[in-house]
Amino acid sequence: MRAVLRTILGVGLAIALLAIFLRNADLPRVWEQIRSASASMVGLSLVLTAATYFVRAERWQYLLEPLGHTRFWVAFRTTVIGFAASFVLPARAGEVLRPYLLARQEKLPATAAFATIIVERILDLVAVLVLLGIFLLAFSGNAADAAPRLYRAVALGGLVMVPVGLGVLFAMFVMAGHPERLHALVLKAERVLPARVAQAVAAFARTFAEGLAVVRRPTRLVFALAWSFVLWLAIAAQVWTMARAFAISLPFTGTFVVTAMLVVGVAIPTPGGVGGGHEAFRLGVTSFYGADNNAAVAAAILQHAVNFVPITLLGLWFLARDGMNIRGLRETAKPIRAVDSDGGTGHEVAS
Protein backbone atom coordinates (compact mmCIF):
# COMPACT_ATOMS: atom_id res chain seq x y z
CA MET A 1 0.00 0.00 0.00
CA ARG A 2 2.84 2.36 0.86
CA ALA A 3 4.51 1.65 -2.50
CA VAL A 4 1.24 2.37 -4.34
CA LEU A 5 0.82 5.66 -2.48
CA ARG A 6 4.41 6.63 -3.23
CA THR A 7 3.87 5.89 -6.91
CA ILE A 8 0.67 7.95 -7.01
CA LEU A 9 2.38 10.88 -5.31
CA GLY A 10 5.37 10.62 -7.66
CA VAL A 11 3.18 10.59 -10.77
CA GLY A 12 1.10 13.47 -9.44
CA LEU A 13 4.25 15.48 -8.75
CA ALA A 14 5.58 14.74 -12.23
CA ILE A 15 2.33 15.92 -13.83
CA ALA A 16 2.40 19.13 -11.79
CA LEU A 17 6.01 19.85 -12.73
CA LEU A 18 5.34 19.13 -16.40
CA ALA A 19 2.38 21.54 -16.28
CA ILE A 20 4.70 24.25 -14.93
CA PHE A 21 7.35 23.35 -17.49
CA LEU A 22 4.93 23.58 -20.44
CA ARG A 23 2.71 26.43 -19.22
CA ASN A 24 4.11 29.06 -21.62
CA ALA A 25 5.26 26.74 -24.41
CA ASP A 26 3.95 26.79 -27.96
CA LEU A 27 4.01 23.04 -28.65
CA PRO A 28 4.07 23.25 -32.48
CA ARG A 29 7.06 25.59 -32.23
CA VAL A 30 8.70 23.31 -29.68
CA TRP A 31 8.36 20.41 -32.09
CA GLU A 32 9.82 22.52 -34.89
CA GLN A 33 12.76 23.40 -32.67
CA ILE A 34 13.40 19.70 -32.00
CA ARG A 35 13.25 18.87 -35.69
CA SER A 36 15.70 21.63 -36.59
CA ALA A 37 18.20 20.95 -33.79
CA SER A 38 21.82 20.41 -34.83
CA ALA A 39 22.20 16.67 -35.34
CA SER A 40 25.98 16.83 -34.85
CA MET A 41 25.63 18.58 -31.48
CA VAL A 42 22.92 16.18 -30.33
CA GLY A 43 25.15 13.29 -31.39
CA LEU A 44 28.09 14.78 -29.46
CA SER A 45 25.83 15.19 -26.45
CA LEU A 46 24.93 11.51 -26.68
CA VAL A 47 28.61 10.53 -26.87
CA LEU A 48 29.41 12.65 -23.81
CA THR A 49 26.53 11.06 -21.90
CA ALA A 50 27.90 7.61 -22.69
CA ALA A 51 31.37 8.73 -21.60
CA THR A 52 30.07 9.72 -18.16
CA TYR A 53 29.13 6.11 -17.43
CA PHE A 54 32.63 4.91 -18.26
CA VAL A 55 33.99 7.56 -15.90
CA ARG A 56 31.50 6.53 -13.21
CA ALA A 57 32.58 2.90 -13.53
CA GLU A 58 36.28 3.82 -13.40
CA ARG A 59 35.77 5.95 -10.30
CA TRP A 60 33.67 3.29 -8.60
CA GLN A 61 36.28 0.62 -9.32
CA TYR A 62 38.84 2.93 -7.71
CA LEU A 63 36.66 3.37 -4.59
CA LEU A 64 36.13 -0.39 -4.38
CA GLU A 65 39.82 -1.27 -4.64
CA PRO A 66 40.45 -1.28 -0.83
CA LEU A 67 37.75 -3.97 -0.54
CA GLY A 68 39.19 -6.27 -3.19
CA HIS A 69 39.75 -6.70 -6.90
CA THR A 70 36.92 -5.77 -9.26
CA ARG A 71 36.70 -5.99 -13.03
CA PHE A 72 35.98 -2.81 -14.99
CA TRP A 73 33.34 -4.46 -17.16
CA VAL A 74 31.43 -5.65 -14.08
CA ALA A 75 31.60 -2.16 -12.55
CA PHE A 76 30.40 -0.60 -15.82
CA ARG A 77 27.64 -3.14 -16.38
CA THR A 78 26.24 -2.91 -12.86
CA THR A 79 26.47 0.89 -12.98
CA VAL A 80 24.32 0.92 -16.11
CA ILE A 81 21.83 -1.53 -14.59
CA GLY A 82 21.70 0.51 -11.40
CA PHE A 83 20.92 3.76 -13.18
CA ALA A 84 18.36 2.06 -15.41
CA ALA A 85 16.69 0.62 -12.30
CA SER A 86 16.56 4.06 -10.68
CA PHE A 87 14.85 5.40 -13.80
CA VAL A 88 12.15 2.71 -14.02
CA LEU A 89 11.65 1.78 -10.35
CA PRO A 90 10.64 3.99 -7.41
CA ALA A 91 12.73 5.07 -4.42
CA ARG A 92 16.07 5.16 -6.30
CA ALA A 93 16.16 1.37 -6.25
CA GLY A 94 19.29 1.31 -8.38
CA GLU A 95 21.35 2.73 -5.52
CA VAL A 96 20.75 -0.54 -3.66
CA LEU A 97 20.83 -2.83 -6.69
CA ARG A 98 24.13 -1.59 -8.06
CA PRO A 99 26.37 -2.51 -5.11
CA TYR A 100 24.37 -5.68 -4.43
CA LEU A 101 24.81 -7.00 -7.98
CA LEU A 102 28.50 -6.11 -8.09
CA ALA A 103 29.18 -7.63 -4.66
CA ARG A 104 27.45 -10.83 -5.69
CA GLN A 105 29.58 -11.16 -8.83
CA GLU A 106 32.90 -10.06 -7.33
CA LYS A 107 32.47 -11.81 -3.95
CA LEU A 108 32.72 -8.60 -1.92
CA PRO A 109 30.79 -7.54 1.20
CA ALA A 110 27.59 -5.97 -0.15
CA THR A 111 27.26 -3.62 2.80
CA ALA A 112 30.79 -2.30 2.25
CA ALA A 113 30.08 -1.94 -1.48
CA PHE A 114 26.97 0.08 -0.64
CA ALA A 115 29.12 2.41 1.51
CA THR A 116 31.13 3.31 -1.61
CA ILE A 117 27.90 4.59 -3.19
CA ILE A 118 27.56 7.02 -0.27
CA VAL A 119 31.15 8.14 -0.86
CA GLU A 120 30.31 8.68 -4.53
CA ARG A 121 27.38 10.92 -3.65
CA ILE A 122 29.50 13.06 -1.32
CA LEU A 123 32.22 13.38 -3.95
CA ASP A 124 29.56 14.38 -6.47
CA LEU A 125 28.24 16.99 -4.05
CA VAL A 126 31.74 18.41 -3.51
CA ALA A 127 32.43 18.60 -7.25
CA VAL A 128 29.10 20.28 -8.04
CA LEU A 129 29.54 22.79 -5.20
CA VAL A 130 33.09 23.66 -6.26
CA LEU A 131 32.03 24.24 -9.87
CA LEU A 132 29.05 26.29 -8.67
CA GLY A 133 31.38 28.30 -6.43
CA ILE A 134 33.71 28.97 -9.38
CA PHE A 135 30.74 30.25 -11.37
CA LEU A 136 29.45 32.48 -8.56
CA LEU A 137 32.87 33.95 -7.80
CA ALA A 138 34.30 34.41 -11.27
CA PHE A 139 31.87 33.81 -14.12
CA SER A 140 28.39 34.90 -13.04
CA GLY A 141 28.62 37.98 -15.32
CA ASN A 142 25.17 39.41 -15.87
CA ALA A 143 23.39 36.38 -14.43
CA ALA A 144 22.90 38.04 -11.03
CA ASP A 145 21.25 41.06 -12.70
CA ALA A 146 19.21 38.96 -15.13
CA ALA A 147 17.48 36.94 -12.41
CA PRO A 148 18.50 38.31 -8.98
CA ARG A 149 16.01 36.32 -6.91
CA LEU A 150 16.87 33.01 -8.58
CA TYR A 151 20.58 33.85 -8.38
CA ARG A 152 20.33 34.48 -4.64
CA ALA A 153 18.34 31.26 -4.15
CA VAL A 154 20.96 29.19 -5.99
CA ALA A 155 23.81 30.86 -4.10
CA LEU A 156 22.07 30.35 -0.74
CA GLY A 157 21.37 26.71 -1.58
CA GLY A 158 25.03 26.17 -2.37
CA LEU A 159 26.12 27.81 0.89
CA VAL A 160 23.72 25.66 2.89
CA MET A 161 25.00 22.46 1.33
CA VAL A 162 28.68 23.20 2.01
CA PRO A 163 28.52 22.45 5.77
CA VAL A 164 26.26 19.48 5.09
CA GLY A 165 28.80 17.95 2.72
CA LEU A 166 31.72 18.69 5.04
CA GLY A 167 29.81 17.25 8.01
CA VAL A 168 29.02 14.01 6.23
CA LEU A 169 32.60 13.73 4.96
CA PHE A 170 33.92 14.19 8.51
CA ALA A 171 31.49 11.57 9.85
CA MET A 172 32.64 9.10 7.20
CA PHE A 173 36.27 9.87 8.07
CA VAL A 174 35.63 9.03 11.72
CA MET A 175 33.66 5.87 10.90
CA ALA A 176 36.24 4.62 8.40
CA GLY A 177 39.06 4.98 10.92
CA HIS A 178 37.44 2.91 13.66
CA PRO A 179 35.25 0.10 12.24
CA GLU A 180 35.94 -2.22 15.19
CA ARG A 181 35.25 0.52 17.73
CA LEU A 182 32.04 1.37 15.88
CA HIS A 183 31.08 -2.31 15.98
CA ALA A 184 31.65 -2.45 19.73
CA LEU A 185 29.73 0.79 20.29
CA VAL A 186 26.68 -0.33 18.30
CA LEU A 187 26.81 -3.74 19.96
CA LYS A 188 25.86 -2.00 23.19
CA ALA A 189 22.36 -1.83 21.73
CA GLU A 190 21.96 -5.32 23.24
CA ARG A 191 20.75 -3.45 26.33
CA VAL A 192 17.56 -2.42 24.52
CA LEU A 193 17.39 -4.82 21.56
CA PRO A 194 17.43 -8.61 21.25
CA ALA A 195 21.02 -9.84 21.13
CA ARG A 196 20.69 -11.26 17.61
CA VAL A 197 19.31 -7.96 16.25
CA ALA A 198 22.00 -5.91 18.01
CA GLN A 199 24.74 -8.18 16.64
CA ALA A 200 23.37 -7.89 13.12
CA VAL A 201 23.19 -4.09 13.34
CA ALA A 202 26.71 -3.91 14.79
CA ALA A 203 28.08 -6.19 12.04
CA PHE A 204 26.37 -4.02 9.41
CA ALA A 205 27.91 -0.87 10.92
CA ARG A 206 31.40 -2.40 10.97
CA THR A 207 31.24 -3.63 7.38
CA PHE A 208 29.74 -0.34 6.20
CA ALA A 209 32.61 1.53 7.86
CA GLU A 210 35.11 -0.74 6.09
CA GLY A 211 33.58 0.33 2.79
CA LEU A 212 34.53 3.93 3.57
CA ALA A 213 38.23 3.04 3.62
CA VAL A 214 39.13 5.42 0.79
CA VAL A 215 38.10 8.38 2.96
CA ARG A 216 41.00 7.67 5.36
CA ARG A 217 43.57 7.66 2.57
CA PRO A 218 44.27 11.26 1.46
CA THR A 219 45.99 10.33 -1.80
CA ARG A 220 43.25 7.94 -2.87
CA LEU A 221 40.58 10.45 -1.83
CA VAL A 222 42.21 13.17 -3.94
CA PHE A 223 42.32 10.86 -6.97
CA ALA A 224 38.68 9.88 -6.41
CA LEU A 225 37.76 13.56 -6.23
CA ALA A 226 39.72 14.19 -9.42
CA TRP A 227 37.64 11.55 -11.18
CA SER A 228 34.54 13.33 -9.83
CA PHE A 229 35.62 16.59 -11.46
CA VAL A 230 36.24 14.74 -14.73
CA LEU A 231 32.73 13.31 -14.45
CA TRP A 232 30.99 16.61 -13.75
CA LEU A 233 32.95 18.52 -16.38
CA ALA A 234 31.82 15.87 -18.88
CA ILE A 235 28.25 16.36 -17.68
CA ALA A 236 28.67 20.14 -18.04
CA ALA A 237 30.01 19.62 -21.58
CA GLN A 238 26.98 17.47 -22.37
CA VAL A 239 24.66 20.24 -21.17
CA TRP A 240 26.60 22.80 -23.21
CA THR A 241 26.45 20.77 -26.43
CA MET A 242 22.69 20.28 -26.02
CA ALA A 243 22.22 24.02 -25.53
CA ARG A 244 24.32 24.70 -28.64
CA ALA A 245 22.20 22.23 -30.61
CA PHE A 246 19.32 24.69 -30.14
CA ALA A 247 21.43 27.84 -30.63
CA ILE A 248 21.09 28.78 -26.96
CA SER A 249 23.87 31.18 -25.96
CA LEU A 250 25.05 29.33 -22.88
CA PRO A 251 28.75 29.83 -22.07
CA PHE A 252 30.54 26.72 -20.87
CA THR A 253 31.04 28.17 -17.40
CA GLY A 254 27.31 28.91 -17.33
CA THR A 255 26.70 25.19 -17.39
CA PHE A 256 28.07 25.04 -13.84
CA VAL A 257 24.99 26.81 -12.47
CA VAL A 258 22.60 25.01 -14.83
CA THR A 259 24.11 21.66 -13.82
CA ALA A 260 23.67 22.49 -10.13
CA MET A 261 20.01 23.29 -10.83
CA LEU A 262 19.64 20.05 -12.77
CA VAL A 263 20.99 18.09 -9.79
CA VAL A 264 18.23 19.58 -7.63
CA GLY A 265 15.58 19.04 -10.28
CA VAL A 266 16.44 15.39 -10.93
CA ALA A 267 16.54 14.74 -7.17
CA ILE A 268 12.80 15.41 -6.99
CA PRO A 269 11.23 11.91 -6.63
CA THR A 270 9.29 11.58 -9.86
CA PRO A 271 9.20 8.51 -12.15
CA GLY A 272 12.18 8.60 -14.51
CA GLY A 273 13.19 12.05 -13.27
CA VAL A 274 10.34 13.55 -15.31
CA GLY A 275 9.39 17.15 -14.68
CA GLY A 276 12.01 18.36 -12.22
CA GLY A 277 15.00 18.11 -14.53
CA HIS A 278 13.01 19.56 -17.42
CA GLU A 279 11.98 22.66 -15.49
CA ALA A 280 15.43 23.12 -13.95
CA PHE A 281 17.06 23.24 -17.40
CA ARG A 282 14.39 25.55 -18.84
CA LEU A 283 14.48 27.89 -15.86
CA GLY A 284 18.27 28.11 -15.85
CA VAL A 285 18.80 28.98 -19.52
CA THR A 286 15.81 31.31 -19.84
CA SER A 287 16.35 33.21 -16.58
CA PHE A 288 20.14 33.62 -16.64
CA TYR A 289 20.86 33.62 -20.39
CA GLY A 290 17.67 34.89 -22.02
CA ALA A 291 17.02 31.76 -24.06
CA ASP A 292 13.82 31.59 -26.08
CA ASN A 293 11.31 29.62 -24.01
CA ASN A 294 10.31 27.26 -26.81
CA ALA A 295 13.95 26.51 -27.62
CA ALA A 296 14.61 25.93 -23.92
CA VAL A 297 11.64 23.57 -23.61
CA ALA A 298 12.74 21.65 -26.71
CA ALA A 299 16.33 21.41 -25.45
CA ALA A 300 15.15 20.25 -22.01
CA ILE A 301 13.01 17.51 -23.56
CA LEU A 302 15.88 16.23 -25.72
CA GLN A 303 18.33 16.65 -22.83
CA HIS A 304 16.19 14.36 -20.68
CA ALA A 305 15.72 11.85 -23.51
CA VAL A 306 19.47 11.65 -24.24
CA ASN A 307 20.26 11.14 -20.55
CA PHE A 308 17.53 8.63 -19.70
CA VAL A 309 16.41 6.64 -22.74
CA PRO A 310 19.66 5.07 -24.08
CA ILE A 311 21.02 4.08 -20.67
CA THR A 312 17.66 2.61 -19.63
CA LEU A 313 17.47 0.52 -22.80
CA LEU A 314 21.07 -0.64 -22.37
CA GLY A 315 20.44 -1.55 -18.73
CA LEU A 316 17.34 -3.53 -19.61
CA TRP A 317 19.29 -5.30 -22.39
CA PHE A 318 21.97 -6.29 -19.87
CA LEU A 319 19.23 -7.64 -17.61
CA ALA A 320 17.59 -9.55 -20.46
CA ARG A 321 20.89 -11.26 -21.18
CA ASP A 322 20.83 -12.45 -17.56
CA GLY A 323 17.28 -13.71 -17.94
CA MET A 324 15.79 -10.96 -15.78
CA ASN A 325 12.95 -8.52 -16.40
CA ILE A 326 11.36 -5.55 -14.61
CA ARG A 327 9.50 -7.82 -12.20
CA GLY A 328 12.68 -9.65 -11.29
CA LEU A 329 14.46 -6.33 -10.91
CA ARG A 330 11.72 -5.10 -8.58
CA GLU A 331 11.96 -8.22 -6.45
CA THR A 332 15.73 -7.95 -6.23
CA ALA A 333 15.43 -4.30 -5.26
CA LYS A 334 13.45 -5.04 -2.13
CA PRO A 335 15.23 -4.14 1.13
CA ILE A 336 18.33 -6.29 1.45
CA ARG A 337 19.46 -7.65 4.77
CA ALA A 338 22.72 -9.31 5.70
CA VAL A 339 22.51 -12.96 6.67
CA ASP A 340 26.01 -13.40 8.02
CA SER A 341 26.74 -12.50 11.63
CA ASP A 342 30.26 -11.39 10.66
CA GLY A 343 28.98 -8.44 8.66
CA GLY A 344 28.24 -10.05 5.33
CA THR A 345 30.25 -11.83 2.69
CA GLY A 346 28.53 -10.39 -0.32
CA HIS A 347 25.93 -13.17 -0.34
CA GLU A 348 22.74 -11.44 0.75
CA VAL A 349 19.09 -12.11 0.11
CA ALA A 350 16.06 -9.97 -0.61
CA SER A 351 13.56 -9.93 2.16
Q: pLDDT tens digits for 51-92?
A: 999 999 999 999 888 888 899 999 999 999 999 888 877 667
Report pLDDT for 110.
Answer: 83
Is the Cβ–Cβ distance between 59 and 82 less than 8 Å? no
Banded model confidence at residue 337, pLDDT cuts 50, 70, 90: very low
Q: Which distant-in-sequence residues (6+ apart) come within 8 Å of 248 by Cβ?
A: 285, 289, 291, 292, 295, 296, 299
Give yes or no for residue 164 having a pLDDT over 60.
Answer: yes
Q: What span, in angstroms and rounded, lies between the C-alpha atoms of 183 and 340?
A: 15
Mean pLDDT of 203-209: 63
Percent of the chain with pLDDT over 70: 79
Mean pLDDT of 269-294: 92
Give yes or no for residue 286 having a pLDDT over 90.
Answer: yes
Name the average pLDDT for the chain. 83
Mean pLDDT of 130-159: 90
Report pLDDT for 219.
Answer: 82
Domain positions in the chain: 2-17+43-144+215-329
Banded model confidence at residue 338, pLDDT cuts 50, 70, 90: very low
Q: What span, in angstroms and rounded, lies between the C-alpha atoms of 98 and 82?
A: 5
Residue-wise pLDDT tens digits, 40-53: 999 999 999 999 99
